[in-house]
């Protein structure tokens, strides 16, 4: 899938969407509970370990962990496959180095390096939105531009419906049941749990 460049125009779009979107009231309690789980001491210690190895902020590691693994430390950060073997789904065969079973930290660092997040330096709100969308792929933006990616915006007022049921299978009627990364980021910011320069 083509990679969309991070332009000033795209940065403004992310900023404006984040500024105008709010967490849907009926989802607010769930989003806050999930944000609290990301910030729990035991989880955050693991995110900090990966942050120290990669340079990716701990809260961003937590956001990706929620989006890819539903905060399950028994799964690869690449795609949610079990840690007891190399990944099977795309990207398959990860991590390449070492032998399974892999530690969560080892696999998470591999996933973030594979996605080049260890080279990224813009951790503003638009910068985080971009790396999350890039992590998941630009299919919504490229092929369904009228539907903001639920990977980012689900559970906010920016997203209503439209979803890939599986790879390449689109439905206008499906509604994501997963909390989007930007809803979680908003909850983390509003609760004063993370320092982010918006």
Cis check: omega of the bond before 101, within 30 degrees of 0: yes
Given a cut of 80, is residue 167 above it in pLDDT?
Answer: no
| Residue 73 confidence (pLDDT) | 98
* Cα 124 from Cα 23, distance rounded (Å): 19
Does residue 195 form part of some domain? no
The band of 130, judged by pLDDT with boundaries at 50, 70 and 90, is: very high
Does residue 1 form part of some domain? no
pTM: 0.95
User: What pLDDT, in 10s, does the model give residues 75-122?
Assistant: 999 999 999 999 999 999 999 999 999 999 999 999 999 999 999 999
The band of 198, judged by pLDDT with boundaries at 50, 70 and 90, is: very low
Does residue 61 form part of some domain? yes
Task: Quickly list DSSP for 85-129.
Answer: S---SSSTT---SS-SSPPHHHHHHHHHHHTTGGG----SHHHHH
Given a cut of 80, is residue 52 above it in pLDDT?
Answer: yes
Does residue 17 form part of some domain? yes
The band of 149, judged by pLDDT with boundaries at 50, 70 and 90, is: very high
Count up the domains in the chain and report the number: 1
Does residue 129 form part of some domain? yes
Given a cut of 80, is residue 195 above it in pLDDT?
Answer: no
Tell me the residue range of the domain where 42 lies: 8-190
């Amino acid at each position: 899938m083509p990679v969309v460049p991070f332009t000033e125009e795209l940065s403004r779009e992310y900023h404006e969407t984040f500024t105008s979107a709010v967490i849907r009231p009926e989802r607010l309690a769930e989003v806050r509970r999930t944000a609290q789980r990301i910030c729990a001491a035991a989880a955050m210690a693991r995110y900090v370990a990966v942050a120290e190895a990669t340079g990716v902020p701990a809260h961003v590691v937590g956001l990706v962990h929620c989006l890819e693994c539903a905060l399950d430390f028994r799964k690869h950060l690449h795609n949610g496959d079990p840690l007891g073997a190399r990944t099977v789904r795309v990207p398959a065969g990860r991590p390449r180095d070492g032998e399974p079973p892999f530690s969560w930290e080892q696999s998470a660092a591999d996933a973030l390096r594979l996605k080049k997040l260890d080279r990224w330096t813009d951790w503003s709100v638009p910068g985080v939105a971009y790396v999350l969308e890039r992590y998941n792929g630009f299919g919504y933006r490229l092929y369904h531009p009228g539907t903001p990616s639920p990977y980012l915006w689900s559970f906010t007022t920016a997203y209503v419906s439209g979803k890939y049921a599986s790879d390449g299978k689109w439905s206008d009627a499906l509604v994501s049941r997963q909390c989007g990364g930007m809803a979680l980021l908003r909850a983390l910011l509003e609760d004063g749990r993370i320092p982010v320069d918006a």
